[in-house]
Chain A
Amino acid sequence: MPEVLSALFAMNPMKISQNIAISENGFLFNPATGDSFSTNACGKEIIRLLQEGQSQAQILEALQREFEVDQASLEKDLADFLYMLGNYRLLDANAQ
């Protein structure tokens, strides 16, 4: 695993910001900023796992079980997605 990804997955579990609402269709609304986003089924699943308090490594395992994808691509895509969540201020800053 590349060094950056290793560091990411060794971090404390990331937490999704409080009060973030996500619908069945994968529509996210951040009530603190008024921003809204759409995500696909895979993104919705990652957010659900984050809301359950799962660590990055646990999420990786869960996704590997669910999707047929090689580990390197999955790690990279998950890292990108988590980075994007942070960038859009959807992660709890205190838990990062």
Chain B
Amino acid sequence: MSSGRTPCTVAVSGLNNIDSPGPGMPVIRALRESSNLEVRIVGLSYDSLEPGLYMHDLVDKSYQIPLPSAGTEALLERLKYIQSIEQIDVLIPNFDAELHNFIRIAPLLRDSLRIKTFLPDLADFDARHKAVLFEYGQQHGVLVPKSHTVFTLMEFHRALEANTYPVVVKGKYYDAQIAYSADEAVSAFYKISAKWGLPVLLQEHVRGTEVNVTVLGDGTGSCIGAVPMRKLYITDKGKAWAGVSIEDEALMQLSRTLIESARWKGPCELEFMRSEEGEYYLMEMNPRFPAWVYLACGCGQNHPEALVQMAMGYHPEPMTRYRVGHMFIRYSQDLIVPMEEFEKISTLGEL
């Protein structure tokens, strides 16, 4: 008997459902709950210990893919192999570090392998990068704290002189530390540059409350969905372990305006700081689903489902309502895995 849902195969990366989780598993859970799609899930992993590999109730088949540093050719070759077995309709990359490669090969995936994506183009992707976010904010009418991008310690010292304390020292992809003195700032510079490389960002500190919005844009100026969340519990890695959907019309209006003005295509997470004066500062714009995107689904907006629909050429109606006061609380659980499964993914690269 037919379920009336459209069958499709979706490849998803970010299966690292760990204490600093990737968005893959929440995306998959949302897709599994779709009322319009009947999905087969192909997991794409970088490491044999990504927990999602072993969650067979959520992931139908998994394949290892080469690390982003291996480049686009290796990635394309691997996806050619995977597609010779699978019939992937849509691919959703979920890692910051892999997005650049996937955006570059998106036309090839579409034309040669018939794999659809729903990603911003490289110009839009680069325009909202941390290093140029201030200019991006000016262009789209959103406040962004001033920041300096520095490549050397000398530049860092010069930038420090132009700031008042506290300052925020940020890595190019991840990590941020608040420094209350030059010593603390320099120590953060060494620590972050050693871990994430250069450049490092030195940003003006905005005191306030962090509020985040998970948003989906259709690329033509429509915001298809948006749900705001306030973190209730943060881990030592700065990740939300619990959060709640909130009602904030000013924040929602600002988010919609940004997505519409930028004609953003695909998912993104907007990280705002609501200052003590009630102003909203955009701190980061992450060009992918956040790891808490399943909350949006729980509040009545299934963003991963809408993304797959748009990638497949449908035009889902914008979702404007959501349930306020719904929480997510993460938990950890031990998966029991026979060694044969670990052996299989480690040696054959598929499971």
A33 and B325 form a contact (CB under 8 A): no
CA distance A43 to B246 in the complex (A): 24
The complex places the Cα of A92 from the Cα of B248 at a distance, in Å, of 15
| Complex interface bits, B241-266 against A, C-beta within 8 A gives 1, otherwise 0 | 00111111000000000000000000
Q: Bound complex: CA of A32 vs CA of B67, how far in Å? A: 41
8 Å CB interface, A1-59 against B = 19, 21, 29, 31-34
Structural contact, B209 and A29, CB atoms closer than 8 A: no
From B232, B243, B246, give the contact of A32 (CB < 8 A).
Answer: B246
* A49 CB to nearest chain B CB (Å): 24
Contact with A along B315-330 (1 / 0, CB 8 A): 0000000001100000
A33–B209 CB distance below 8 A: yes
**How would you classify the secondary structure of chain B's contact residues: helix, strand, loop or mixed?**
strand
Chain A residues whose CB sits within 8 angstroms of the CB of B244 once the complex forms = 34
B61 interfacial contact with A, CB 8 Å: no
Complex CA gap A21/B229 in Å reads: 18
Q: Interface residues of B toward A: which range?
A: 10 to 19
Q: Are A29 and B325 in contact (CB under 8 A)?
A: yes
Residues of A within 8 A of B209 (CB): 33
**Chain A at the B interface: mostly helix, strand, loop or mixed?**
loop
Closest to B278 in A: A93
Instruction: Tally A-B pairs: CB < 8 A.
Output: 20
The residue in chain A whose Cβ has the minimal distance to the Cβ of B232 is: A34
Determine whether the beta carbon of A31 is less than 8 Å from that of B324: yes
B229–chain A nearest beta-carbon distance, Å: 8
- Tell me whether B205 is interfacial, beta carbon within 8 Å: no
Interface size of A by CB at 8 A reads 7
- Please measure, in the bound complex, the distance between the C-alpha atom of A19 and the C-alpha atom of B324, giving whole angstroms: 11
Interface string of B231-245 (1 = CB under 8 A from A): 010000000000111
B246 and A21 form a contact (CB under 8 A): no
B247 touching A32, Cβ below 8 Å: yes
* CB of B210 to closest CB in A, whole Å: 11
Q: Are A31 and B325 in contact (CB under 8 A)?
A: yes
- Judge whether B230 and A33 touch: CB under 8 Å: yes
Which residues of chain B (93-143) have a CB below 8 Å from chain A? none
Collect the chain B residues with CB atoms within 8 Å of residue A19's CB.
247
| Bound Cα distance from A34 to B247, whole angstroms | 8
Cβ-defined contact, A32 with B325, below 8 A: no
The winner among A19, A31, A32, A34 for most chain B CB atoms within 10 A is A34
Give me the 6 closest cross-chain CB pairs, A-B, nearest first. A34-B230, A31-B247, A34-B244, A34-B246, A31-B324, A29-B325
| A-B contacts, 9 listed (Cβ < 8 Å) | A19-B247, A21-B325, A29-B325, A31-B247, A31-B324, A33-B209, A33-B246, A34-B232, A34-B245
17 extra interface residue pairs, beta carbon distance < 8 Å, beyond A33-B209, A34-B243, A34-B246: A19-B247, A21-B325, A29-B325, A31-B246, A31-B247, A31-B324, A31-B325, A32-B246, A32-B247, A32-B248, A33-B230, A33-B246, A34-B229, A34-B230, A34-B232, A34-B244, A34-B245
